[in-house]
Amino acid sequence: MRAVFLITLFLTSLVAASPSQAQCGSCPERCSAKNLWGCIRRAADPLCLKQKARCEARQAARRHGGNVGQFIANADQEAERIENDAGALAEAAARRKLEEVRECLDDLAACPFNVASRISGNDARLVTACLDDIDSCPGHVIKRLPAHALKDVISHYKDGLVGQAEGRWQSLPQWFVDEFGDDYPNVDLGQVQYATDIRTGHNQAITFYYQIFFPQAIDLRKRSDMEWMLHELQHTEQYALKGGEDAFLSEYLLHVPGEALARRTIDVHDHVSIEQDAIAKASELIEEYGWTIRFQNYCHRTVRTWLHYVDTSGDWVTHPGNWDWKPNDQAKFLFSKDAPVHTPNRIIYFYAEIPGTGYTWQGELSLEIKAPSRADPNKIERKTVKFIEKDNTEESPEWLSFSVSCNNVPRQQ
């Protein structure tokens, strides 16, 4: 101990007598000039410190008129000894760490957080032990290890997906964010990105937190595609609830590591509880939302339509006739206030007319509407008309639709 103290004092005197650090270069900030020995013991940067010690040894030799070579030799010898000391300390720490890991393997449930947090993610022994006895594996181990244990598989797979998605990223439409944002309280839907026509390896969608990859094109106005997106967004919500990508994937991998290794892909749909949660959430939301509505004008004249339908609160409402459709227009979805009109009821009613004429399409349900007067189109009047029923209950449509044609109406001159 006395020898160590004297050597420390010797090096400290060299440093104290030297010019500013700048003249001998600088080492990492935590290696202060006043504690060179302690700095080397921490193995901050042995090469830097050795060079710095030799520089200061030369300066000390010049000041004291001593032999430069001897000063440098002494500095080199001390630096080497202290570096060896640091190696011995590191080896001892490694042995302690190994012993802690062994204790964790002997009793998983008792594995303390501070030990698990220091264990390398590539320590397959602890992962294997957890797989053999998941119920005993503590949560903090589950959250930290498995995703790192298969990090190469996950990274390679994800990089391939991201590479395919280059130039294809899409954001969720604002109407979709407004409609469903509150249903995913831990996620900012405005930050979600998705890409379509991606080769996912299992022909299913895959979600990596805020990035969603679909194997084919989707149309969020279609019921099945909307439900598919809602399903994947619940996986995004699950990522958030679990604490991020590593924690979520770790839980998945603890249940299905064999599939991930064999296929070199990740498919959270293998995990029954995660999948059931997403299925239930998407099913609930799509039932509340219902179907979007699409209209096809087969008439050679401009047609104006009104719609009577059930809104999401369960009330029957009549939408004002502000939909004017061009002659022989292609099928289009009904929008109101920049969002698709939708209903959870597959029965809808509609009334249509050719503006400024007496031509109408009517059924049996009498309702009052507001419409421009035939005598003065700038004047709005109330009138009672009869709506046509369109029943879709015998079908399982992607959307509700209605249309009109006018073969008996003369063409406009």
pLDDT digits (tens, 9 = 90+) for 280-295: 999 999 999 999 999 9
317 and 280 inside one domain: no
How many residues are given for the chain?
A: 413
Whole-number pLDDT of residue 139: 60
What does DSSP assign to residue 21? G
* CA 100 to centroid of chain Cα atoms: 35
Please count the structural domains in the chain. Answer: 4
pLDDT-derived band at 33, boundaries 50, 70, 90: very low
Give the separation between CA 238 and CA 227, rounded to whole angstroms: 17
* Residue at 51 is within a domain: yes
Give the separation between CA 367 and CA 383, rounded to whole angstroms: 8
Contact 241, 186 (CB under 8 A): yes
Q: Is 138 exposed, middle or buried (0-12, 13-18, 19+ CB in 10 A)?
A: middle
List the CATH number of the domain containing 326.
2.60.40
Global pTM value: 0.63
314 and 259 inside one domain: no
Give residue 121's domain range: 107-149
* Residue at 96 is within a domain: no
* Residue at 251 is within a domain: yes
b/e map 183-192, b = 16+ CB within 10 Å? bbeebebeeb
User: What is the rounded radius of gyration, in angstroms, for the C-alpha atoms of the chain?
Assistant: 36
Which among 327, 320, 263, 338 has a CA at the least distance from the CA of 296? 327
117 and 156 inside one domain: no
* Residue at 265 is within a domain: yes
Whole-number pLDDT of residue 30: 40
357 and 387 inside one domain: yes
Q: Which residue would you say has higher pLDDT here, 267 or 252?
A: 252
pLDDT-derived band at 170, boundaries 50, 70, 90: very high
54 and 171 inside one domain: no
